[in-house]
Amino acid sequence: MSVQPLHTLSGSDLADRCNTPALAGLLEERDLLGRGLLLDGSLTERDEQRVRVVRFLAEHPEGTPLSHVVSYAVKGVSPESCERVDGSDSDYQFAYRFVNDLADPDDPYVRKCRSSGVLTVTPTLRLLDLITEGKTQTAQSEGVTFDRDFLRNYLARVDSVDPDLRELLTDGFTSYLNRIEDYCLLFDVQFLDRRGGQTDRRMTKDYKTRFNDEGRVSKQFARFNGALEHAYERSENAVLATFTTDPKRQSSLLDGIDSINPAFNRLLSYMDSDPSTKSDTRDPDVRGWRPGLDSDVTGRPRRRPDYIKALEFTESGYPHLHVLFFDVPTRAEDGMPWLCDKPELAAKWADYGQGEIVDVYPLTYRDDLEDLGPEFQSDEGFVDWYRFGDHDHGEEWVRDRTRSHELIEFGDEGHEMESTAGAYLGKYLSATFGSLLDATESFQEQNSDSFADKAATWKLALYWATNRRFWSCSQSISDGIKPNDHLHDPDVREAVRWCSLDSVRAASESDLRDELARRQWDDVDDLEAAIDCALSEVEAPAVRSTLPDEASFRCIVNYRGAYAYWDLPAVSSTRAAISNSSRITPSRKRICRSSTARTIRPSPTFGPEIAI
């Protein structure tokens, strides 16, 4: 069962869930009818048409041309069967005036936009709330428009984010976060003992996503820092690249967001190819790349470099990528890190339907930053190769090169504390993750207003609505920062358990023996017994509680789905409910061994309903 949003509409059963008198009453309360309900409970013809217009708009959250609203909702026929509808038509004039009433800027139920001469009407979340007011949600998902789908449909019709869309994104995202606070994940657990006996239990777990779980947010930022440290240990140089999107090349804002990562993967494949017939522009005897020489020369690295990539949105909602490539080839004449000729990169990026503006900045790794100046935040990192690289170029050359970058600036006035690539890339990510942590804290404090006021809320909503990750890295870096899988092996865990206990005893015994030996003892055996007793106290409970227990039974965990707390299936008499503090593996089915229910260990995999 999927989480049901508050703003769900089912087109086919809308009349059953919100009949005409009920909807008419809601509209009348808001002065949106002409005559209103008559004494006999009926409506005038125009008021009935107003109700149909509201229903029709609510059933099309992606927006619809006003002429279609007139044809379907007012005239009751399809546009193909209807005479031409324009401003001279009385029904069109009526619908136009009613839509203006619904679009009241102080409290809009719809929004209007005109493109290529066509007036399109789109419902707001407020209208969706109105038409479902007082109606209970069902467990059916067929035909339902979810918050995320509503916003995706909207993004598919626009080419940028305006203030109205920011408000919609913020409202939809905060509504989603508020709603999942009332949901939990349900599991059926079967415990099997050594004698074949079976006990069924039901367990719940709080509904946590990457947007409302403080632990997952902190873990993601820790993984980002771990990826940087992993690259520090293995790379001598790097290149920071920025890839933009040209909205004129995209059919919609959603298309631009959905296409940027596939385009980047195509670019990686281009870098990895090795055309032996083309000369390498890193050779000083080879001319630089230009369109006319594309068949003769190339500056591509001819391999796929490791990278860390962050997705960012501009104030207009356009996506762009910041990518830190590691250990790239160098130019022969001076050793400059050279990912590829910038014009060649720009041309290929544009060929993939993206923007023509890219920037590539060479970097070098230094572990003596504390000696270079007080402006650095750390002692090591990747810094501007022009100023801190090993070359013989003069100050004028350095100054000209640093000024030649349109999108990336290192160590410029006002940004002295952000002069390493990690800080540059992490600046946006730290603000993003910080906003998520603020969101988590504000909902824990039941104070949603503090989160709604955050400037980055609508950008967080873009990640949520389009299901984009904040950052990612190449497979080798991802593998390098993974926990060691062998630690999950039972034999290894048991070895670690006893090695840990022996290490604690060995580290403690000398001090304990010295301390107790200073006391007066009538019998040496009493001293040895006291030492053994003290050592046993050292082991338990603090140390033993962190170690895996011996397996005495196994359990099978089946994921049932996500439910509102008030909508959980009834517990049968043969099952006992366990509190949601139990640690459960959120996978569809996983077998693990443990001696108590509280030591069931979480699995890193999530079912489709949970991985949000």
- Written as one letter, the residue type at 560 is R
Q: How far is CA 272 from the centre of its chain?
A: 28
* Residue 517: strand, helix, or coil: helix
Total domain count, the chain: 3
Q: What is the pLDDT of residue 302?
A: 93
Torsion angles phi and psi, residue 73, rounded to 5: -85, -30
Q: Residue 171 domain-assigned? A: no
Q: What count of Cα atoms within 13 Å lies in the side-chain half-sphere of residue 390?
A: 8
Mean pLDDT, residues 131-160 taken together: 66
Confidence at 297, pLDDT banded by 50, 70, 90: very high
Same domain as 515, residue 403: no
Q: Residue 313 domain-assigned? A: yes
Same domain as 542, residue 473: no
Round to whole Å and give the CA distance between 314 and 472.
19
Confidence at 331, pLDDT banded by 50, 70, 90: very high
Same domain as 318, residue 370: yes
Quick count: other Cβ atoms within 10 Å of Cβ 499?
Answer: 10
Q: What is the pLDDT of residue 418?
A: 45
Q: What is the pLDDT of residue 201?
A: 81
C-alpha distance from residue 268 to each of 76, 302, 336, 353, 387 (Å): 53, 10, 21, 15, 28
Same domain as 512, residue 377: no
What are 502-509's contacts with CB under 8 Å, separation 24+?
A: 504/538, 504/539, 504/543, 505/535, 505/538, 505/539, 508/534, 508/535, 508/538, 509/535
More confident residue, 324 or 514: 324
Provide CB contacts within 8 A for 355, sequence distance 6+: 243, 244, 245, 246, 249, 320, 349
Q: What is the pLDDT of residue 582?
A: 38
Is the Cβ–Cβ distance between 335 and 389 less than 8 Å?
yes
* Residue 437: strand, helix, or coil: helix
Among the listed residues 476, 566, 466, 546, the one whose alpha carbon sits nearest the alpha carbon of residue 504:
546
Q: Could you say which of 509, 528, 546 is where a domain stops?
A: 546
Same domain as 406, residue 292: yes
Q: Residue 289 domain-assigned? A: yes
* Domain CATH number, residue 108: 1.10.10
More confident residue, 490 or 311: 311
Round to whole Å and give the CA distance between 353 and 242.
16
- 83-87, 92-96, 273-277, 546-550: least confident range: 546-550
Mean pLDDT, residues 375-382 taken together: 78
Q: Residue 106 domain-assigned? A: yes
Round to whole Å and give the CA distance between 5 and 173.
11
What percent helix, strand, coil does the chain show, rounded to 5? 45, 15, 40
Please state the three-class secondary structure of 75-88 as a single string. Answer: HCCCHHHCCCCCCC
Q: What is the pLDDT of residue 550?
A: 52
Q: Could you say which of 521, 546, 571 is where a domain stops?
A: 546
Provide CB contacts within 8 A for 342, sequence distance 6+: 358, 359, 360
Confidence at 283, pLDDT banded by 50, 70, 90: very high
Q: Residue 7 domain-assigned? A: no
pLDDT tens profile 95-143:
888 998 888 877 788 888 887 778 889 888 777 667 655 343 333 444 4
Q: What is the pLDDT of residue 39?
A: 62
Q: What is the pLDDT of residue 505?
A: 72
Q: Residue 71 domain-assigned? A: yes
More confident residue, 597 or 110: 110
Round to whole Å and give the CA distance between 78 and 70.
9
- 71-75, 402-406, 573-577: least confident range: 573-577
Please state the three-class secondary structure of 384-434 as a single string. Answer: EHHHHCCCCCCHHHHHHHHHCCCCCCCCCCCCHHHCCHHHHHHHHHHHHHH
- 159-168, 447-456, 546-555: least confident range: 447-456
CA dihedral 144, 148, 153, 157 (to 10 degrees): 160
Q: What is the pLDDT of residue 420?
A: 79
Burial of 180 (0-12, 13-18, 19+ CB in 10 A): buried
Please state the three-class secondary structure of 539-567 as a single string. Answer: HCCCCHHHCCCCCCEEEEEEEEEEEEHHH
For residue 522, give its domain range.
492-546
Mean pLDDT, residues 305-312 taken together: 93
Is the Cβ–Cβ distance between 458 and 170 less than 8 Å?
yes
Say what percent of the chain tops pLDDT 90.
23
Q: Residue written as tokens 């479902």?
A: 132
Most confident of 214-218, 350-354, 576-580: 350-354
Same domain as 413, residue 496: no
- 18-22, 157-161, 244-248: least confident range: 18-22
C-alpha distance from residue 498 to each of 81, 85, 494, 503, 533 (Å): 82, 83, 6, 8, 18
Confidence at 338, pLDDT banded by 50, 70, 90: very high
Q: What is the pLDDT of residue 512?
A: 81
Q: How far is CA 312 from the centre of its chain?
A: 12
pLDDT tens profile 525-582:
778 888 877 777 665 555 555 555 555 556 666 778 888 888 888 765 444 444 343 3
Same domain as 515, residue 474: no
Q: Residue written as tokens 């990562």?
A: 261
H-assigned helices in 185-335: 214-234, 253-272
Residue 288 reports pLDDT greater than 70:
yes
Q: Residue 440 domain-assigned? A: no
Q: What is the pLDDT of residue 10?
A: 34
Largest CA distance in the chain: 114
Mean pLDDT, residues 319-325 taken together: 93
More confident residue, 205 or 193: 205
Provide CB contacts within 8 A for 566, sequence distance 6+: 182
User: What integer best gives the mean pLDDT of the chain?
Assistant: 75
Confidence at 160, pLDDT banded by 50, 70, 90: very high
- For the record, the structure tokens of 282 come out as 């890193």
Confidence at 194, pLDDT banded by 50, 70, 90: low
Q: Residue 250 domain-assigned? A: yes
Q: What is the pLDDT of residue 546?
A: 54
Same domain as 474, residue 508: no
Residue 350 reports pLDDT greater than 90:
yes
Round to whole Å and give the CA distance between 140 and 68.
29
Same domain as 473, residue 520: no
Same domain as 401, residue 291: yes
Task: Lay out the sheet containing 307-313: strands in order across.
Answer: 381-384, 358-366, 237-243, 319-326, 307-313, 471-473
Quick count: other Cβ atoms within 10 Å of Cβ 20?
Answer: 16
More confident residue, 453 or 79: 79
- For the record, the structure tokens of 387 come out as 């100023």
- 30-39, 164-173, 257-266, 462-471: least confident range: 30-39
* H helix and E strand count, the chain: 20, 16
Q: Could you say which of 145, 163, 183 is where a domain stops?
A: 145
Q: What is the pLDDT of residue 499?
A: 63
Annotate 77-115 with b (16+ C-beta within 10 A) or e (fewer).
eeeeebeebeeebebbebbbebbeebbeeeebbbbbeee
Residue 208 reports pLDDT greater than 90:
no
Same domain as 497, residue 415: no
Same domain as 393, residue 260: yes
H-assigned helices in 235-308: 253-272
